[in-house]
Amino acid sequence: SAVISQKPSRDICQRGTSLTIQCQVDSQVTMMFWYRQQPGQSLTLIATANQGSEATYESGFVIDKFPISRPNLTFSTLTVSNMSPEDSSIYLCSVVASPNNEQFFGPGTRLTVL
């Protein structure tokens, strides 16, 4: 299994500011993802965080709004830039861990934008 921690666990931010969310895994993993869960909705994949190269973004998500870093196989950050109230969501980090390729999720970061 993989144990994932996220910081911060929650935050309340002002419109127009940016927030960086950290994801730390207790083991080296190849596949790492960032998801968003808007209120009352299911999870939506934002991007795949690639180690040593640019993240792969899903349709509707762009690097300028959600820059992602992945400096090594255990750590990634997601920044939510120029926030608006529509960005209020839970942001979750997820990894696929060996040997069974099971997917694990972090505790989430609950973001409220005023």
Partner 1 sequence: KNEVEQSPQNLTAQEGEFITINCSYSVGISALHWLQQHPGGGIVSLFMLSSGKKKHGRLIATINIQEKHSSLHITASHPRDSAVYICAVRSNFGNEKLTFGTGTRLTIIP
Q: Residue 82 to residues 14, 15, 67: CA-CA distances in angstroms?
A: 9, 7, 11
What part of residues 35-64 is at the interface with partner 1 (CB under 8 A)?
Answer: 37, 42-43, 45
One-letter amino acid at 77 equals: T
68-72 sheet: strands from edge to edge: 4-7, 19-25, 75-80, 68-72
Query: What distance in Å separates the CA atoms of residue 17 and residue 23, rounded to the nearest whole number?
Result: 20
Rank residues 83 and 111 by Cβ distance to partner 1 and give the closer one. 111
Site size toward partner 1 (CB under 8 A) is: 19
> Is residue 26 within the footprint of partner 1 (CB under 8 A)?
no
> Is residue 103 within the footprint of partner 1 (CB under 8 A)?
yes
Residues of this chain that bind partner 1 (CB under 8 A): 31, 33, 37, 42-43, 45, 90, 92, 96, 100-108, 110
